[in-house]
Structure 1
Amino acid sequence: MTKMEEVGFKHAESEYFPGGKIGLIALRTDHLVEDAMRSLLCDAEVSIITNRIAFNDPVNTKNLQAMAQDLNRATADLLPGKQVDVIAFCCSSGTVSIGEQKLKEQIQKIKPQSQVTNPVTAATSAFLALGVKKLTIITPYITEVNREVAKFFSDKELNILNIVGFNVMADADITRIDPEAIKQAALAQVHPDAEALFISCTALRSIEVIATLEELLGIPVITSNQAMAWHVLQLLGKPHSVSKGGRIFALGGANTQ
């Protein structure tokens, strides 16, 4: 018979990554965001925890707005009863459709001590840090969603010169868009007056082409996952260089409002 014993003395205790816990609220259909965030933050002293939020295709305004109904549960299940330093809502078009302030308030009702970010808030902060205002935007979305994305950034006093979508309706199919196709779309569609390119969507394999596009276009390239990773570190007060993170990671501390 196996002998059963218990430790008979008080054991030492310590926190795991104190001051560096990042919670991701990811769409249940998103294949990419966790791998992308871990790739970008692999050398930073942070811990990444993920929970999934309900989402149903197609990717349209109605279905994006509907995610708000599951947000309380998704937030509460990120380490229940424990501190999460920054919570990132991992959907660019979802943030636009629901509203960044509404998302922040709803998340902080459940996790009041957590700072909150998302791809479009993070991208806006990156544009401010880079000192750019004239943008080309490339997305996987349909025109209905692109119209709202363009308005979001225009309301931030950014000049959206043009916005181009791949017209993909299923979230999982967004990840199937090859990075070469993203690169070719950027090279063909970037406006000659653009001061930066924004590639929207956490499910899009865009971080693979940041360095190449920055070299070929001669302007900063901001993507949803890259912007979120950068902004998370800014909010934590832990700026960190990332070799494939593009020009934004070459900056030091920046305005994160």
Structure 2
Amino acid sequence: MSTIGFIYPDHAAEDDYPLAERLLGGDVRLPVAHIYGTDLHAVAELLDLGSPARLTEGAGLLARHEPDAVVWACTSGSFVYGWDGATQQVAGLSEAAGGLPASSTSFAFVRAANALGLRRVAVAASYPDDVAALFAEFLGKGGIDVVSMSAADIDTAAEVGRLDPEAVVDLVAGRDHPDAEALLVPDTAMRTLALLDRIEERLGKPVLTANQVTVWEGLRLAGASRAVPGLGTLFRTGA
């Protein structure tokens, strides 16, 4: 039995994790610990949300589950620190978790794209422009070229979490670009796991979403990667 612990900010789309657990089968547990701060998509607030004190609190909450790895399940609360700062953030999380392997959603996007051999992507972000631009910069540091960036200018994670499935599909699929090899959808507040195959079929290319890559990264860290249907190209390949 592999156990991957996720630190999730506030409440929005955390039900993607039990859905992933069901799809992955009975030998994986994906417990979620919640930390709380403002859910505003603004730089100062996101820096506070991903602070060492908050992640240390989350690691403590996960300890009772005895995880094999821990992941900070927040894209904006990691890339807002920049590449070097996000690296330090993950190192601090690992230390707070007793030396366990650790990562964040931002690094999960880069590693998932690399696993699929992707170099040119479009981004469908829920954030305001200034925050979305920081994600594009982070991807660039990871060797990924953003050929198109769309920002939906949604102010809070709670608003994103209230989007119905049709609104999510329209928001995501309408922001593809013909030069992109894949479409990336940051924001773990957006429910996407149940929609992945549908969106990929519509676009005809891989789609990487925040909760999807976060789960994939946790499995990678725990040495529990596997191929499974229903979670998009990334999981069908077993990369």
Q: Is the 8 A contact 1:136 1:163 kept in 2?
A: yes
Large movers: runs of 4+ above 3 Å: none
Structure-1 separation of matches of 2:119 and 2:133: 18
Q: CA offsets per residue over residues 149-172 of structure 1, 9 Å max, x none?
A: 110001111110111122111221
Q: Is the 8 A contact 1:135 1:197 kept in 2?
A: yes
2:18 alignment partner, one of 38, 43, 52:
38
Quote the residue 1:66 is aligned against: 48
Structure-2 separation of matches of 1:88 and 1:57: 19
Q: Is the 8 A contact 1:83 1:113 kept in 2?
A: no
1:84 alignment partner, one of 49, 67, 71:
67
Quote the residue 1:94 is aligned against: 77
Compute the displacement of 1:119 (Å): 1.6
Structure-2 separation of matches of 1:39 and 1:250: 16
Letter in 2 for 1:87: V
Structure-2 separation of matches of 1:47 and 1:83: 11
Compute the displacement of 1:47 (Å): 2.2
| Matched pairs, number | 232
Match status 1:247 vs 2:233: yes
Quote the residue 1:51 is aligned against: 33
Structure 1 portions without partners, runs of 5+: 1-16
Compute the displacement of 1:196 (Å): 0.4
Structure-2 separation of matches of 1:191 and 1:132: 14
Matches within 5 A, 1:149-188: 149-188=135-174
Q: Is the 8 A contact 1:44 1:240 kept in 2?
A: no
Structure-2 separation of matches of 1:97 and 1:195: 25
Compute the displacement of 1:226 (Å): 0.7
Structure-2 separation of matches of 1:187 and 1:74: 33
Compute the displacement of 1:214 (Å): 1.2
Q: CA RMSD in A?
A: 1.7
Q: Is the 8 A contact 1:138 1:164 kept in 2?
A: yes
Compute the displacement of 1:77 (Å): 2.7
Structure-1 separation of matches of 2:66 and 2:162: 35
Quote the residue 1:12 is aligned against: none
Letter in 2 for 1:89: W
Q: Is the 8 A contact 1:23 1:78 kept in 2?
A: yes
Structure-2 separation of matches of 1:113 and 1:149: 27
Q: Is the 8 A contact 2:199 2:207 kept in 1?
A: yes
Match status 1:203 vs 2:189: yes
Letter in 2 for 1:90: A
Give the secondary-structure state (helix, strand or coil) at the position aligned to 2:211: helix
- Greater C-alpha Rg: 1
Compute the displacement of 1:102 (Å): 1.8
**Normalization by structure 2: what TM-score?**
0.90
Compute the displacement of 1:44 (Å): 4.7
Give the secondary-structure state (helix, strand or coil) at the position aligned to 1:78: helix
Compute the displacement of 1:48 (Å): 2.7
The 10-residue stretch of structure 1 (71-80 or 209-218) with the greater mean CA deviation from structure 2: 71-80
Structure-2 separation of matches of 1:39 and 1:243: 13
